[in-house]
Chain A
Amino acid sequence: MVVETKSAQFDSIALDSGATLTPVEIAYETYGNLNADASNAILVTHAFTGDAHAAGISHDAGKPGWWDNMIGPGKAFDTDRYFVICSNVLGGCQGTTGPGSINPATGSPYAMTFPVITIRDMVRLQRMLIDSLGIRRLLCVAGGSMGGMQALEWAVSYPDRVLSTIPIATTWRHSAQQIAFNEVGRQAIMADPDWSDGDYYDKKPPARGLSVARMVGHITYMSDESMREKFGRRLREKEKFGFDFGVDFEVESYLRYRGNQFVSRFDANSYLYITKAEDYFDLTNGTGKLAEAFRQSDTRFLVISFTSDWLYPSYQSQEIVRVLRRINGDVAYCDLQSNYGHDAFLVDIAEQTELVKGFLASTARMAKAA
């Protein structure tokens, strides 16, 4: 299935910070067909560094989508039944307006003049896209990690626009540890002299800083066990230590490779803005009263966590589940056994598929009966 990224433009969007972006563009892809009464649409929301290309083979680069193992004919998000939409988030760098976009007022990239955005802003722009596609109510919003935050935000901000949500490996508010790792990434970027206060678009980008940020990120996405299995203490193309600071260990080589590869596809300023949006994320706006946040919502929930995920640990999902239970919400929950750490929702998909399929089928049945 070869897919092309499309784009929609809107005159403006009002942001949580009080600022307004004029105009705003959103990149998106769709898979499958929207049915006659527009009742089979599912929005898939991507994690931090993801993009609109969730499934199929991209027309330009010939690459599979980031959740191609979950979206397609007969897969968890079965495109023979459902119309699946994925868009790049606000503040991103893969087609949706972000700090690297041209500010029409100046003719130059926004860079650090781009307004600080929130998860709710991302979701507001997604809602504008859904409106423009003629979809009144989504069958489901589903995503992992930051995608899960967006799914939760949909249920709270637009409860009448979404029948069900599948938040995976996520949290209802960013924790101190999550903020801490993001801050290390941001400081690595800003400490790189090439960052130049964000004005690097006509110069050399802060590749070293961004690469270090990505290395830290990658560590948090894996688990002690998955790293032990994948790398152990194996040396990289050598029999003994080099007694220097070149690459000795396989794991060093892997992290450097991932870091360098990331630089070619991601904008450092987007890294700053999106991590900030994650850190500001708190469904309760600081009150801590999660039950209040969910009270307006009669959305169905399928909450999924993974046993070895230490970046978004299972207890954070369980907090969501407990509160939904307290308000007698419709919630299904499973803590899936996996060694892959936070990355599990992208790679360990057999059991996740089983859950998602059954949940979507029963949601569709309920929608039809209602």
Chain B
Amino acid sequence: MASNTMTPVSQPVSLAERPDFNVIGEIIQPGSRVLDLGCGEGALLAWLVENKQVLARGVEIEAAQVRKAIARGVSAYQGDIDEGLADYPDKAFDYVILSQTLQETRAPLQVLREMLRVGRRAIVSFPNFGHWTVRQAMLFTGQAPKTKLFPYDWYNSPNIHFLSINDFEDLCRQSGFPIEKRYFLSGSSRVSFLPNLLAQTAVFLLG
């Protein structure tokens, strides 16, 4: 390995592939304490450290991804989101982020409650199962939808809970999670009309 492979964080982080990252970057105040649940290779956290000088922590279950996150300088640890939050003290973070991962957790409601306990605010983004392409696929094929948003076959999908924007709004209302802001995206553009039908991704700021 060459000796000049050492400055991983200064590598430009491509946020273009993940439009929700732009919104999250917009929400987060500089210098805040941020926990990213399911941080993957730490791309979002590295970007936030570099551009918002945040104090960054990440949790990720996949060893290979944790390795890459740590290699780029992010304090990530290998652990399970469903269990891992219990250790943190109340309000340890300004923001707890769950980016495109809610639909993969075993106990989403429990995770959301814990996020609001350890964080002053929670940022939740997820792919919208109510999007028209999903509805269309289901209607015309009669099979578990396989779309750009949900590209997996039913048997190897990491997604175990499917939710639409309206489902999430309902849950927040029922559980008393205060919604501070909502952002609806199609690609990287904002959607203001019929979001549950037209938005691919939703980002909610709770707290």
- Say yes or no: B71 contacts A321, CB within 8 Å: no
- Interface locus among B84-92, B105-113, B169-177: B84-92
A108 close to B (CB within 8 Å): no
Chain A residues 317-344 with CB under 8 Å of chain B are 321-322, 325-328, 330-337
A256 close to B (CB within 8 Å): no
- Interface range, A side: 20 to 34
- Say yes or no: A361 contacts B6, CB within 8 Å: yes
- Say yes or no: B88 contacts A325, CB within 8 Å: yes
Contacts of B92 in A (CB 8 A): 328
A358 close to B (CB within 8 Å): yes
Contacts of B2 in A (CB 8 A): 74
- Say yes or no: A81 contacts B77, CB within 8 Å: no
Contacts of A361 in B (CB 8 A): 6-9, 73
- Interface locus among B62-70, B95-103, B121-129, B155-163: B62-70
B203 close to A (CB within 8 Å): no
A354 close to B (CB within 8 Å): yes
- 13 cross-chain CB contacts under 8 A: A74-B2, A302-B70, A328-B92, A331-B75, A332-B70, A332-B74, A332-B77, A333-B76, A336-B63, A336-B67, A358-B72, A361-B73, A362-B74
How far is the CB of B115 from the nearest CB of chain A, in Å? 15
- Say yes or no: B78 contacts A333, CB within 8 Å: yes
- Say yes or no: B71 contacts A328, CB within 8 Å: no
With A325-B88, A365-B73 as contacts: A335 and B8 at CB distance below 8 Å: no
Q: How far is the CA of A334 from the CA of B88 in the complex (A)?
A: 18
- Say yes or no: B77 contacts A321, CB within 8 Å: yes
Q: How far is the CA of A359 from the CA of B66 in the complex (A)?
A: 12
A4 close to B (CB within 8 Å): no
- Say yes or no: B71 contacts A326, CB within 8 Å: no
Contacts of B73 in A (CB 8 A): 358-359, 361-362, 365
B3 close to A (CB within 8 Å): yes
Contacts of A199 in B (CB 8 A): none
B194 close to A (CB within 8 Å): no
Q: How far is the CA of A354 from the CA of B92 in the complex (A)?
A: 29
In the complex, residue of chain A having the shortest beta-carbon distance to the beta carbon of B85: A325
Contacts of B79 in A (CB 8 A): 321, 333
With most chain B CB atoms within 10 A of its CB, the pick from A302, A322, A358 is: A358
Contacts of A355 in B (CB 8 A): 67, 70-71
With A74-B1, A322-B87, A326-B89 as contacts: A354 and B67 at CB distance below 8 Å: yes
* In the complex, the 5 A-B pairs of residues with the closest C-beta atoms, listed nearest first: A362-B73, A74-B3, A358-B71, A333-B77, A325-B87
With most chain B CB atoms within 10 A of its CB, the pick from A81, A327, A357 is: A357
Among B1, B6, B66, contact of A81 (Cβ-Cβ < 8 Å): B6
Q: How far is the CA of A110 from the CA of B67 in the complex (A)?
A: 47
A78 close to B (CB within 8 Å): yes
With most chain A CB atoms within 10 A of its CB, the pick from B3, B69, B92 is: B3
Contacts of B89 in A (CB 8 A): 326-328
Given contacts A358-B72, A365-B73, 4 further A-B contacts (CB under 8 A): A74-B3, A81-B6, A331-B75, A332-B75
Q: How far is the CA of A269 from the CA of B207 in the complex (A)?
A: 62
B-contact bits for A285-327, CB 8 A (1 contact / 0 none): 0000000000000001011000000000000000001100111
Q: How far is the CA of A313 from the CA of B157 in the complex (A)?
A: 32
